[in-house]
């Protein structure tokens, strides 16, 4: 669930095409999980999983853009 949420957040932030939006979303994810780690003793593994999911969302969006551009250039 954590991975999918951060993956979708990365995709949505990438679709905004704003570096500011990507940085803000990354900061909010980090702040949320850091506060959960401090307040509730959440495993650090979940924080790492969230960062991986967010970056995975950005990478998937970039790959989709490249694939779409190549498909348009072929036709």
d(CA 11, CA 65) in angstroms, rounded, equals: 12
What are the distances in angstroms from CA 15 to CA 8, 18, 34, 46, 73?
Answer: 11, 8, 26, 25, 21
58 close to 18: Cβ distance less than 8 angstroms = no
pLDDT at 1 over 70: no
11 close to 57: Cβ distance less than 8 angstroms = yes
Residue range 6-15: mean pLDDT, rounded: 74
Would you state the pLDDT for residue 74? 81
pLDDT at 51 over 80: no
Three-class DSSP category at 9: helix
d(CA 37, CA 14) in angstroms, rounded, equals: 26
Question: pLDDT tens-digit profile of 16-32?
Answer: 777 787 778 778 877 87
In the chain, domain spans = 2-74
């Amino acid at each position: 669930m954590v991975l999918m949420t951060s993956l979708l957040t990365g995709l949505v932030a990438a679709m905004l095409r704003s570096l500011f939006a990507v940085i803000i979303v990354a900061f909010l994810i980090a702040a949320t999980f850091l506060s959960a780690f401090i307040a509730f003793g959440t495993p650090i593994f979940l924080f790492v999983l969230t960062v991986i999911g967010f970056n995975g969302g950005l990478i998937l969006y970039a790959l989709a853009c490249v694939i779409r551009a190549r498909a348009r250039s072929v036709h």
